[in-house]
Chains A and B, each alone.
Chain A
Amino acid sequence: MSKFTKKKSNELPPVNTASLPDIVFMLLFFFMVATVMRETNLLVEQNLPKADQVEKLKKDRSVFIFAGKPSDQYKEKYGNEGRVQIGDKYTDISNIGMALSEARGKLIPELQNKVVVALKVDDDTNTGLVSDIKEELRELNMVRIIYITTPGNQLD
């Protein structure tokens, strides 16, 4: 037997996984840059209506109002009627003012008088609730609002 004949192996060489951490880190950095931390814990259902004639929300100058039916785990306690949530808790319509000025105080001072109120309302809500909120906002003189929607069109 010659010394130089190579040993023939029938096994496939293992796949090199050395670059796997690099790939995962790349994904990690993408998500770290492209996303923001979840700020509020949703207490209401949020299936936003579809619209396509939209503008972008300027996040640095906006405060959020959520409205809709209580989510499943809160149904027993709070019933099935549409409710308003600001920050992390349910708010009464008449208390919107206080809750909103608290939320506004967290914005940077230069933008506090340019505040935009972002309404995230579930599509199954009555318009009556929304117009109550709007009346309240008019009295607070926070007149710039934006109805947050999801992309799409209700006609198709």
Chain B
Amino acid sequence: MARRSAPEVNAGSMADIAFLLLIFFLVTTTMEKDKGISRQLPPIQEDAPDILIKDKNLFIVLVNKNDDLLVEDEPMQLSDLRQAAIDFLDNGGASSNSPEYCNYCKGKKDPSSSDNPDKAIISVQNDRLTSYNTYIAVQNELVGAYNFLRNRESQRMFGWEFTDVKAAVDAGTYIGDRKKAEDNLKTIQALYPLKLSEASPKKTGN
């Protein structure tokens, strides 16, 4: 008796089946890509005390309904905002024998601008009709100014970029002593604390 071998299964349509699955997954899923600018909103306080802030420690950015910028009473282009914010934050205007002296600032030490980064407050005021696009662009530039200064200080003190290490720690991919890295990040954040104030937008256009 001749032994009959089992016939081979035709696998020609395997590719078609796999393509079908592939296309299904391509259509129904999205890439994980959400990134953004994170912010902490101020909690509501019933009777918030009025805190007096010296005029020189306040950096006011006004945005009108036509998306024009008015920075410290001067019209400004968006592209100059980051440098202006860096100059303001890094000024260190307090004199060297006062307790508020900033020994790591590399700014102009102009006494008419901010005393030190801890005192310096950036205030953004939008119109209700300002476009969200401009709003994010302004926030992005201001966060960029803080990141620039924080990166500079972390390079000087620890030899790494603040933003890189923070991203790695947040993602859980930091290699090495995580606790120490977090402490170091806090140190840098304390040198240049993010002090961005947002007044609620004005009602009228003009």
Contacts and interface: CB of A to CB of B under 8 A. Distances in A.
Contact of A24 (B22, B41, B44, B126): B22
Given A124-B133, A138-B43, A28 B37 contact: no
B150 to A, nearest CB: 11
A31 B37 contact: no
A144 interface: yes
Interface in B57-108: 78-79
Nearest to B202: A128
A21 B37 CA distance: 42
Interface residues of B, number: 50
A5 interface: no
A141 B43 contact: yes
B144 A52 contact: yes
A147 B132 CA distance: 10
Interface in B9-54: 11, 14-15, 18-19, 21-22, 25-26, 28-32, 34-44
A56 to B, nearest CB: 6
Contacts of A122: 132
Contacts of A17: 15
Contact of B28 (A38, A126, A153): A38
Interface of B: 11, 14-15, 18-19, 21-22, 25-26, 28-32, 34-44, 78-79, 126-133, 135-137, 139-140, 143-144, 147, 163, 166-167, 170-171, 200-201
12 contacts: A35-B30, A37-B29, A49-B132, A127-B127, A127-B130, A128-B201, A130-B135, A131-B126, A131-B201, A138-B44, A139-B44, A149-B37
6 residue pairs, one from A and one from B, having the closest CB atoms:
A128-B128, A35-B29, A123-B133, A24-B18, A51-B140, A49-B136
